Amino acid sequence: MTGPLVVRTREELRAATEGTIALVPTMGALHDGHVQLMKHARPLAQTLVVSIFVNPTQFAPGEDFDAYPRTFDADLERCAEAGVDIVFAPTVDVMYPDGLDATVSVDAGPLGQILEGAQRPTHFRGVLTVVAKLFGLVGPDVAVFGEKDYQQLTLIRLMARELCLGVEVVGCPTVREADGLAMSSRNRYLEADERQLAGAINAALRAGAASGREGGTAVLAAARAVLDEHGITPDYLELTDPDLAEPVPGREARLLVAARVGRPRLLDNIALNLGGN
Ligand code: AMP
C-alpha cells in the first residue's frame, strides 16, 4: 500500500493533481467517519485530495484550538487505507497569507446564527471562509462532507450554490459506534463513565424519531425524556425541516442536538418523518 503524497503549498498541489478532483476537508485526528467520506469520494474523481488543517478562525477564544488532537502520522495511514492520492496539509501562512484578521471573510447569513451559531457566533464564518479558501486552493469538482455536522453541510451547500463556486457538495451519512454515538475526533476526551453516558444522545434522537407520527411536540418530548433520564442538559434540541427552516407536518424533518458530556461538546442529528395534521 503506497501512502499519499503530502503537499503543503498551492504550487505543490498544482503540480501533483491531474484530471477531475474530489476533496475531503478535515481537521485531522482521523477516525472511521472520515475514512468513510474518503471511500465515498474515491470513485467520484480521478484525484482524491484530503486536506488536514486545524482552522484557527472557527474556534472562539477559550475553545479547544490548542488542545484539538493532532495525530498526523496515524492520519496518513488512514488516508492510505482509503486510497487517497494527496494529503494537503497547509501551514496557517498558506491558508491566511494576510493574517488571521484579514478583512474579507464569508458571512454565513441567518442560518449561521441559529443552532450551533447561536452558541458559537463566529464559528460558521470561520468554517465557510476556510472551506472557500480550500476550494480556491485545491480546485475540486466535488467535495464530500459528513451529515454528522448537518448545519455545516447545509451552509456549505448554500455557499457553493449562492457564490457560484462550481463545486458539487456531497453529503455522507454519519458513521457511529455500536451504541449509536456519532464518531468524532473529540470522543477520545470522554472518560469511561462519560463514554457510556454519551450513547444517550443518539438514543434520545432515535426516541424522538420513533415518535414522528405523533407530531413535533411529541418528538421533542420523547427526545428530552431520554436526555433527562441521563441527566444531560442539551445546549439545544431542535426540530427543523431538512433545510433548517420551520418543520412542516407531513414532511421529512431533522432533529438536531448538541450537549456537553464531560469535556467535549457532542453534536448529533437524525432524519425523521413528521406526522401530518
Ligand atoms: P472534522 O475533521 O471533524 O472537521 O470533520 C471533517 C469532515 O468529516 C466533516 O465533513 C465532518 O462532518 C465529517 N465527519 C466527522 N465525523 C463524522 C462521522 N462520524 N460520520 C460521518 N462524517 C463525519
Model confidence pTM above 0.95: yes
* Nearest residue to 248 (alpha-carbon basis) of 270, 276, 212, 222: 276
Pocket of ligand 1 (CB under 6 A): 26-27, 33-34, 36-37, 145-146, 148-149, 172, 174-175, 182-185
Closest CA to 22 of 156, 172, 163, 142: 142
Task: Encode pLDDT of 99-108 as tens digits.
Answer: 999 999 999 9
The CA–CA distances, whole Å, from 265 to 128, 209, 239, 272 equal 21, 22, 19, 23
232-268 pLDDT tens trace: 999 999 999 999 999 999 999 999 999 999 999 999 9
Cα–Cα–Cα angle for 241, 155, 91, nearest 5°? 150
Among the listed residues 34, 40, 123, 230, the single catalytic one is: 34
Is residue 182 very low, low, confident or very high in pLDDT (cuts 50, 70, 90)? very high
Distance 149 CA to ligand 1 centre (A): 7
* 255 grid coordinates: 432533529
Question: Averaged over 206-223, what is the pLDDT?
Answer: 98
Q: What is the pLDDT of residue 84?
A: 98
Strand 252-260 with 265-273, pairing: antiparallel
CA atoms within 13 A on the CB side of 79: 28
Percentage of the chain lying above the pLDDT 70 cut: 99
Domains of the chain, CATH where assigned: 5-172 (3.40.50.620), 187-274 (3.30.1300.10)
pLDDT tens for 120-137 read 999 999 999 999 999 999
